[in-house]
Amino acid sequence: MVTVLVASSKGGCGKSTLVTQLASHWAQDGKRTAIVDSDPQGSSFRWASIRPDNVPGVLALEGGRKALDKLPDDTDRVLIDTAAGSHEKELEPYLEKASVVLVPALPSSFDLHATLNFLKHLHGISRIKRGKLPVAVVGNRLKPWTHASQDAMEQLAEQSPFPVVAQLRDTQAYVLLTSLGKGIFDYGSEQVRGHQHDWAPLLRWIKRQH
């Protein structure tokens, strides 16, 4: 079982986007996929609950650490969507179960400052500091053709104690598909394949950790 913990120090940075899109990828790949949604907003849980019958289902559980104990034994992939602002005390129940940690980052100065502080905090956690729990950063809602996004990613790469492994373009496709209980990996059209390519480096990184 591969367990992906998605965390951030602030809301609105795209945690649920990472969780739902990765879930749709693994479900389409034939993996038994589950989401544990510990965020009070419950976005990932709602997404899984409205997935239509014509796409592979994703199990969703609400709640905290005890929800992990309710997962079926044959689960292949688990994604944990944490509450915004979670720090070591809140993350501790999940850190011992996690295979990797993902931190989404937005390309604004306020977001970068908050993200870098959060990454430094993560780096001080014993299991992470000892290299026993891999952490990666994912640039989210980027406009790669703009200097602002390019400069933000350069700054993040220079100052982050962890690698920036993927850069996801800003698109309304995520908003639209999420409202339908779907992800970009539920489609094979040329229009979405470009966005699917954005995820390839992240998927390779996760695979390399195992």
Model confidence pLDDT, tens digit, residues 18-40: 999 999 999 999 999 999 998 88
Residues of the chain below pLDDT 50: none
Topology of the domain covering 7-208: Rossmann fold (3.40.50)
Residues 6+ apart with CB under 8 A from 120: 161
pLDDT on residue 85:
67
Q: How far is CA 10 from CA 138, 203, 207, in A?
A: 14, 24, 27
Is 177 exposed, middle or buried (CB count within 10 Å of its CB: 0-12, 13-18, 19+)?
buried
pLDDT on residue 155:
87
Is 54 exposed, middle or buried (CB count within 10 Å of its CB: 0-12, 13-18, 19+)?
exposed
pLDDT on residue 10:
73
The amino acid at residue 183 is G
How far apart CA 161 and CA 202 sit, in angstroms, is 17
How far apart CA 136 and CA 104 sit, in angstroms, is 9
CB 106 within 8 A of CB 141: yes
Tell me the pTM: 0.92
Q: What's the CA dihedral at 171, 55, 25, 83 to 10 degrees?
A: 70
Q: Where are the domains of the chain?
A: 7-208
